[in-house]
Amino acid sequence: MRILLTGSAGFVGTAIAAQLEAAGDEVVCIDLMLAMAHGAASAPAGTHQLDVRDAASWGDLLHGVDAVCHQAAVVGAGVKVGDLPAYASHNDYGTAVLLAAMHEAGVGRLVLASSMVVYGEGRYTCADHGDQAPPPRAVAALDAGDFENHCPVCGRALSWSLVDEDARLEPRSSYAASKLAQEHYTSAWVRQADASAVALRYHNVYGPGMPRDTPYSGVAAMFRSSLERGEAPQVYEDGGQMRDFVHVADVARANVAALRSVLDGATGHFAAYNVASGHPIGIREVAELVATGTATEIAPDVTGGYRLGDVRHIVASPQRAREELGFAAEILPEQGLREFATAPLRA
């Protein structure tokens, strides 16, 4: 395969490129090298440094390409209203320009990096009243240390359940809204261009090469940085928030599987898949596993603080990706997070 890979110098993009090249595929690497992600680093050798929003800069790069793997994006929580233009420009307009350029070049296969954030809250169930869709948690409840979502019928705390790809989509941040918009643009392009695409909804990605102390750092990297400074990792709420942590090597494997799928599949098809380990874990346990890997006795500091943009629980069902893409994670959090504690990171 000849694959054009955007965001190729990033955390996930680097892992995807390595797996594709190891399999003998040709990779056309593209990255803008945004300072917020890469600092002052130069583009890796062989990388075309260009902005996906600039249609004129594409030139002949798409000629002869079998499929595009689109990882380039501004990430982070996007908690400020002032963040909206950056997310809309880089993520949404950039994707629209890319899709138009692909159509012009006759490239009709795409794998898109999406995110679990498109779901908003996860799936919740009441023992007596079944599935419930709770509203955003009230500030007064959070201030009082009540972090759970409650059944709107009986008021009792709801239990979390696995989220599948048919769950409601309810983005609650600028970043989340931009990722869902990317999916919508892609779905429209598939119909209009008689193309084929897969969106991969990444859950919490971690692993070697993760950025250190940037907006692109995940919570596992932040816990590790605290431990390296001799400080206790700061855990919000009560540490009981449930998430799915998936290793970057598994995310790369999911992308390779998705690329094979869109190349082998029929046109006019768009599907989204969770990319997750399938092994839910609490945030406090994440901090404890990272601490264990660093052989430190520093315990996490469960602060009771909160961030309004955060959701309580979101845990993925990996079933559809396993059945339709043949993808299943190989590195479980209990192993991977311990190893991550001493893995090389990016400055």
Q: Compute the average pLDDT of residues 90-112.
A: 97
Q: Where are any strands of DSSP class E within 196-244? A: 196-202, 204-206, 234-235, 242-243
Four-CA torsion 261, 265, 268, 270, nearest 10 degrees: -20
Residue 213 has pLDDT above 90, yes or no: no
* Residue 214 pLDDT level (bands cut at 50, 70, 90): low
For 3-41, how does the pLDDT look when each residue is reduced to its tens digit (9 = 90+)?
999 999 999 999 999 999 999 999 999 999 887 778 778
Contact 206, 289 (CB under 8 A): no
For 259-293, how does the pLDDT look when each residue is reduced to its tens digit (9 = 90+)?
999 999 889 999 999 999 999 999 999 999 999 99
> What pTM was estimated for this model as a whole?
0.95
Q: Any idea which of 199-203, 223-227, 269-273 has the lowest mean pLDDT? A: 223-227
Using alpha carbons, select from 69, 58, 64 the residue that is nearest to residue 106. Answer: 64
Residue 23, number of CB atoms within 10 A of its CB: 10
Using alpha carbons, select from 225, 216, 282, 293 the residue that is nearest to residue 11. Answer: 216
Angstrom CA distances, 151 to 129, 132, 314, stand at: 8, 7, 17
Contact 154, 129 (CB under 8 A): yes
pLDDT of residue 58: 85
Residue 103 has pLDDT above 80, yes or no: yes
pLDDT of residue 36: 77
